[in-house]
A = this chain, B = another copy of it.
Amino acid sequence: MSDIKILTGPEVAKHNGRDSCWIIVHGKVYDVTDFLDEHPGGSRIILKYAGQDATEAYEPIHPPDAITTNLPVEKHLGAIDASTVAKAVKEVTAEETARQAALAARPPLENVLNMHDFEVVAKAVIPAKAWAYYSSGSDDEITIRENRTAFQRVWFRPRILRDVSVVDWSTTILGQKSSLPLYISATALGKLGHPDGELCITRAAAKHGVIQMIATLASCSFDDILNAQANGQTFFLQLYVNRDREITRRYVQHAEARGVKGLFITVDAPQLGRREKDMRMKQVDDDAGAEVQKGQAGVKKDQGVARAISSFIDPSLSWKDIPWFQSITSMPIILKGIATAEDAVLAYEAGVRGIVLSNHGGRQLDTARSGIEILVEVVAALRAKGYHPDPRFEIYVDGGVRRASDVLKALALGAKAVGVGRAFLYAFCAYGDAGVERAIQIFRDEFEMNMRLLGVRTLDELRPEMVDASALNQHIVSVPRDNLFEQTYQPLQITKLKL
């Protein structure tokens, strides 16, 4: 419409402070002076680029339209004459050099045999701050590890001599077809670990008929992800509820309009947990951030990224809000983060379509129990009330899933499907789309093997008596060591070769 004004580097460079702050993004100049205090990632990171080109820092963690959407049109000052901008000499840090070497040294994908292999590769090839953000749990990280070990306290009681020539691990989740009894759960800030972020999942999930849950705090914008979908691909949406319900209403209705098939409202995060690994990584404060989905803004100023990216979340969310959600959308509503039988019963009675038994990947309340442990009490309580089984109310579990056998244990105990987050996150951080595909393939192989070995042909044949979960609630037994005794006791030695 209007003529685009052309600005020069020196001109922009003058506006390099809090009083007047201009930045260049994707060849355009913006006046962000008034936006400084509104920036979800804090003003500090913007001011670092005041008067300069911020594209490289902006790119990995914002969708292309974030700035144009959030900034009034009169702050769009014009285009920059690129030739007039001084090239920033980019310093390559030792960490970055090591990271590039690790990328080059990744094992071939066929050497990756399990989900842990993805994690060890990801750890080596992503920036330290991404690792700290992804891998951290809250407080002493008891729960994050409990999530894994809880599955190993459930033992199989496999049946034999059933014809298992053909086994089928496909299912439906909320009525949607899924080639696996799991969905890829929401994790935030994917571009910290891979330039394509969550799109890696979208593309791989499309190929293999797996459902992706989109995170409110994804690095890729909701629409970018939806635009990348294949025909008939199914998405769910994870929702952090905004203090400004109007923003939430628009966001939810937009998702429904674009065909999202399930709304997973996070109910275990009125505030984001203290994650000390993340906090130790001081620099995270300087240049990380989060794509807050369009319209989630309105947050308070600089208080560290962890809180900043979540400061819009409404801690007043309560059961009283559920009817409102039911009034604004016809998507099935699922409550994500149920941790007790009592709340599972309330959820059922509130008329939602399902619950996710979860401790938020060990990132919220430490020494909270694992989803698989909660499952046992939830199923018992629902059953006692006549609420289970009920095809209109599905139960999911997440946290610590690394093997198809974990999934089968959850299903045997009454879950409809499980959510898997970090495993896929690490898969794409390590190998992009191909990593996600490999992860799906490994799960598939494991489902085939484990179902045969369990003696079930379809998931319907899974029964509670196929597992022994009696040790589930023995969850932690501290063992103060007897140091004096151990220093004096001399362990038995095996025979030695004469080498």
Contact = CB atoms under 8 A, between A and B. Distances in A.
A475 interface: yes
A135 B488 CA distance: 10
Interface string A82-104: 00000000000000000001100
A495 B113 contact: yes
B340 A159 contact: yes
Interface in A445-480: 445-446, 448-450, 452-454, 465, 468, 470-471, 473-480
A476 B152 contact: yes
Contact of A155 (B135, B369, B477, B484): B369
Contact of A107 (B154, B162, B471, B495): B495
Interface in A180-216: none
Interface string A111-153: 1111011011101100000000001000111100110111011
Given A152-B482, A159-B343, A271 B140 contact: no
A295 B139 CA distance: 45
Contacts of A487: 116, 120, 493-494
Interface stretch (A41-49, A54-62, A218-226, A274-282): A274-282
Contacts of A269: 453
A110 B479 CA distance: 31
Contact of A156 (B112, B342, B367): B367
A113 B405 CA distance: 37
Contacts of A161: 267, 317-319, 321-322, 335, 343, 346
Nearest to A491: B483
Contacts of A267: 160-161
A445 B274 contact: yes
Given A343-B160, A403-B139, A471 B468 contact: no
Q: Name the residue in A101, A102, A119, A485 with the highest tally of chain B Cβ atoms < 10 Å from its Cβ.
A: A485
Contacts of A315: 163-165, 452
- How many A residues are at the interface, by size bracket? 35 or more
A452 B271 CA distance: 7
Contacts of A318: 161-163
A160 B152 CA distance: 27
Total identical chains: 4
A495 to B, nearest CB: 4
Contacts of A340: 157-159
A64 interface: no
Contact of A477 (B106, B111, B274, B477): B477
Contacts of A489: 145
Interface string A366-381: 1111000000000000
A78 interface: no
B153 A476 contact: yes
A481 interface: yes
Contact of A498 (B105, B123, B473): B105
A280 to B, nearest CB: 7
A497 interface: yes
Interface in A313-351: 314-319, 321-322, 335, 337-340, 342-343, 346
A343 B113 CA distance: 32
Given A338-B160, A453-B273, A405 B366 contact: yes
**9 nearest A-B pairs in the assembled complex, by CB-CB distance:** A149-B478, A145-B480, A365-B453, A116-B484, A483-B491, A117-B495, A165-B316, A163-B316, A160-B267
Interface of A: 101-102, 105-107, 111-114, 116-117, 119-121, 123-124, 135, 139-142, 145-146, 148-150, 152-165, 267-271, 273-274, 276-277, 279-280, 282, 314-319, 321-322, 335, 337-340, 342-343, 346, 364-369, 402-403, 405, 445-446, 448-450, 452-454, 465, 468, 470-471, 473-485, 487-499
Given A160-B267, A277-B490, 9 more contacts: A105-B498, A123-B488, A142-B152, A146-B478, A158-B340, A160-B338, A165-B315, A471-B474, A477-B479
